Structure 1
Amino acid sequence: MKKFLKITAAIVILLLICYFGFFKFRQMQANNISIPVSVNSVLKINVDELYKTLALSYLKHPGQYSDTDKKGIKEKVDDLNTGLKIPANIYIYSLKGKAKTTFYSSFEIADSLAFIRFISKNAPLKLIKKDDHFFQSQDSTINVLYNKTTVALAYSPQRESVKTILTEILSLKNMVKIGDSKFSNLRNLSDHVSFQNAENLSKINFTDGKISFRNEFINKLIEPATQPQHRALNPENTVNMWLNAKYKTDLKQKNQTGSTSFLSKYNFLKFYKDYVDFEWTNTITQVDTIVGYEYNDDFERVEKKILKDRKIPSISINISADDREVSDYLKSLDFLDQSTGKISRMMIPLYQTYFKGNNGNVQLSTMQSIKPDPKRISSEDFFYFKVDFEKMFKQMSIPFITENLRSFSQLEIKAKSIGKNKIKLESELLFLNKDANALIQLLKAFRNGLQSQLNLKSSLDISINK
């Protein structure tokens, strides 16, 4: 029995070594690619890591996936019979001197006959032959150039001329190994998707029920507080947000366009000092006056005012600002009722909003009785945002937003300073379904949304034709 167990263990270990060795070899091959020397940004898609994550998710929750979802990315591409060899990592890049939205990539051709058949007849988007070994989409945004072993592709919404660059990619002219370029650190990242340019390094991962996003970037707009603080907001709120930072002087100077609204960019930057927070606690009832008209006994048209209850968000915004200066500004425009604190609907038309100001703090709120609490607590983050979609949709009926965000349960974003002019941002987007992989859910939501739009368009076309 012991001998059998030893043999079994040895076989399992050998299989694991082969498994990880296979993926390691594929990674080494994929990371040995060359890119143009003029590359200024690179997007890396880690196909093998995505495949392993999706496979593990299926093993854990097989009931969450249909037959079409059970296949990995590589299998789905293989089903198209493109004739291409799908590497462990796909690198997509943009170039200096070209539009920022023009992207390039290249792939090895595994089966030239299958590849030619695919681009000639079976591609999802019709491609037209323009020259020997050169195809374009009808709108010229997609360009394909190939030789016996490799295909180079370009996507250019601006319809730039890209054939010369594609030719250089195929001939390996003006190219450098990615390991010898300034993007060499991307090779060792195991994240599902990563992106790097001169100012950003972003990473995205798709796990069961969650999308995680990390971004380190150069900050040109704000000066985060050295020791961030914020008011203690209730974590059970529908929406919470705070920002403890100053806007740079040159940004204020660029926004010198006058506006009467206090919440306009111009006035916000004019009065704002170094702190703002926002909280949506629940839903309240606000009484609105609706003006209508009716005819009296003498058939004269007279005005009639009707009081109507309306459910609105209980919102409060607190801003570090000179409260007397803001109050005087609102009074000068006759936008503030000093006896009640009401702000004119001409300034904030959506909800009845109330003004309070004291000790360098300005509060705008849909609740008249609420009092601002100036006490603050320390935090590592100078920025925080959280929204509970489930609570939001229960409290408010917003058809368009509900339709597009109904798959999500929560979004949380944090940002901290990690050096001079450098910020680290972390966010998580949670799904209602915690068992299915987030990428699969996202693709399903996109597909269903696209299908709904097509159905709506079809219905409108039928109505118009009638």
Structure 2
Amino acid sequence: MVKFLKITAAIVILLLLFYFVFFKYRQIQANKILIPATTQTLFKINVDELYKTLAVSYLKHPSQYAGTDKNSIREKIADLNSGLRIPANIYIYALKGTAKNTLFTRLEIADTSAFNHFILKKLALLKKDAHFFESADSTFGLLVNKKTVSIAFNMAKEPIRHILEEIHDQNNMVKISDSKFAQMASLSDHLSFQDAENLSKINFTDGKIDFSSEFENKWIEPAAEPRHRMLNPESTLSFWLNGKIKSDLTEKNHTMSLSLLSKDSFFRFYQDYVDFEWTKTVTQVDTIVGYEYNDDFEQVEKKILRDRKIPSITINLNSDDKAVSNYLKSLGALDQSTGKISSAMIPLYQFYFRGSNGNVQLSTIKSAKPDVKRASSDDFFYFKVDFKKLINQTSIPLIADKLGTFSQLEIKAKSIGKNKIKLESELLFLNKDANALMQVLKVFQNGFKSALDLNLSVDIPVSK
């Protein structure tokens, strides 16, 4: 028995070692790739890391990936055989001198016959000559030979054949390790993106998508030591921002606005802090004015009270509260006895105004009281939405249809140096067992027909 266990352990170790060496070799080979010297933006798809993540997810939760039809997963994958040799990493690039949304890549062909069938039958491309294929709308082009294919995603529909020829012949190319994108080669993230100002990463795990981005800050001057109100962790939606809006985004000559929440009014009164909180649904009593005829056939006014379910919303703003109050009074938009704000200033819901000690509060709750206590934070921006509560508290079919598979979205941003911001976000799914990428494919299956028929425990209705 001991001998058997030793042999089994040795086999497992050898398999793990082979696994590690195999994927390490693929990564090394993939990172020797050449990219155009004029590359301005680079996208990286880490195929091997995605494979590994999906494989582990399948081993942990095989029932999540069980097909409901008679065709096996293997048959479905075989039906989608492209004939391409998929590398460990796929690099897609945008080039200087081309439209911003025009992208290129170069891949090797493993099976010429399968590849020709794929582009002519599956992609329905038109053969322009012996080596060049193009979609009917000219947004997709291929330049091929027996070993490689150069691909262009050309939404601008600009002439791209000469660029494909340069990529195909690997003229004016540079090793990625010798380029300004060298750090991309070592990233293990599933998807990554880099240009002159940004570096972004996306990872798909079971029930969650993680996104992070470091980029130049052109809009906000974050507070040196951010502080925020303690918002309710059970809120449907909440956010805060502690920082000054950079002057080039604000207009010096403000115009009179009918809405207090318009850009002009906001920039006029905003100082360095704002927060928003939607906690629950409450009942608001509206007065509806109608007319009827009395016994003398005279038209008289009749007021009817109506209960309406609305969000419990509170907005706090660091501002000169007296200036805001005077502004509202000058427009005749503030009932000083009740604090009601005219619906012309803030439509849809009835809001109440309170101001004191440099704080302005707008709330759909008449009895709400400003709370100016603050807590320290490393982040100058925070946003969170609970999709389950949002769906329960709204009656918009599109929200339930497309967002019903998600649980929560949380976004944070902090300053990491002069004019530099790091943003981190986490998107959670109701189904915590299936991989997030597979669930995203399921949500949008009508758009591109998912290759796998996932048996997800959260079934999302799809509009026909």
Using structure 2 for the length normalisation, give the TM-score: 0.92
CA gap of 1:455–1:224, structure 2 versus 1, over 3 A, is closer
Matched length: 453
SS in 1 for 2:3: helix
Match of residue 403, structure 2, among 399, 402, 405: 405
Match of residue 440, structure 2, among 439, 442, 452: 442
Return the alpha-carbon distance in structure 2 between the equivalents of residues 270 and 14 of structure 1.
Answer: 68
Deviation per CA, 1:320-339: give whole Å up to 9, x if none.
Answer: 01111111111111111111
CA gap of 1:249–1:122, structure 2 versus 1, over 3 A, is closer
Letter in 2 for 1:401: I
Give the aligned partner of residue 48 of structure 2. 48
Give the aligned partner of residue 386 of structure 1. 384
Deviation per CA, 1:386-407: give whole Å up to 9, x if none.
Answer: 1111122222322222221100
1:29-428 to 2 correspondences below 5 Å: 29-67=29-67, 79-123=79-123, 126-253=124-251, 256=254, 258-428=256-426
Of all paired residues, the percent bearing the same amino acid is: 67
CA gap of 1:215–1:76, structure 2 versus 1, over 3 A, is farther
C-alpha displacement at 1:30, in angstroms?
1.5
SS in 2 for 1:338: coil
CA gap of 1:41–1:330, structure 2 versus 1, over 3 A, is same
Which shifted more, 114-123 or 15-24? 114-123
CA gap of 1:335–1:192, structure 2 versus 1, over 3 A, is same
Give the aligned partner of residue 18 of structure 1. 18
Q: Are 2:43 and 2:93, in contact at CA under 8 Å, matched by a contact in 1? A: yes
Return the alpha-carbon distance in structure 2 between the equivalents of residues 37 and 68 of structure 1.
Answer: 48
Return the alpha-carbon distance in structure 1 between the equivalents of residues 120 and 125 of structure 2.
Answer: 7
Q: Are 1:205 and 1:213, in contact at CA under 8 Å, matched by a contact in 2? A: yes
Q: Tell me, which stretches of 5 or more residues in structure 2 are unaligned?
A: 450-459
Q: Tell me, which stretches of 5 or more residues in structure 1 are unaligned?
A: 457-466
Deviation per CA, 1:275-333: give whole Å up to 9, x if none.
Answer: 00111111110011223344444555544322110000110000001111111111111
Return the alpha-carbon distance in structure 1 between the equivalents of residues 199 and 77 of structure 2.
Answer: 28
Letter in 2 for 1:426: E
CA gap of 1:257–1:185, structure 2 versus 1, over 3 A, is farther
Deviation per CA, 1:118-172: give whole Å up to 9, x if none.
Answer: 212232xx21112221111111111111122110111121111111110000000
Letter in 1 for 2:210: S
Q: Are 2:254 and 2:268, in contact at CA under 8 Å, matched by a contact in 1? A: no
CA gap of 1:165–1:453, structure 2 versus 1, over 3 A, is farther
Q: Are 1:288 and 1:307, in contact at CA under 8 Å, matched by a contact in 2? A: yes
Which shifted more, 447-456 or 258-267? 447-456
Q: Are 1:108 and 1:150, in contact at CA under 8 Å, matched by a contact in 2? A: yes
SS in 2 for 1:243: strand
Return the alpha-carbon distance in structure 2 between the equivalents of residues 428 and 441 of structure 1.
Answer: 15
Return the alpha-carbon distance in structure 2 between the equivalents of residues 422 and 218 of structure 1.
Answer: 5
Using structure 1 for the length normalisation, give the TM-score: 0.92
- Aligned residues: CA RMSD: 2.3
C-alpha displacement at 1:19, in angstroms?
1.1
Return the alpha-carbon distance in structure 1 between the equivalents of residues 436 and 117 of structure 2.
Answer: 34
Return the alpha-carbon distance in structure 2 between the equivalents of residues 8 and 373 of structure 1.
Answer: 64
Give the aligned partner of residue 463 of structure 1. none
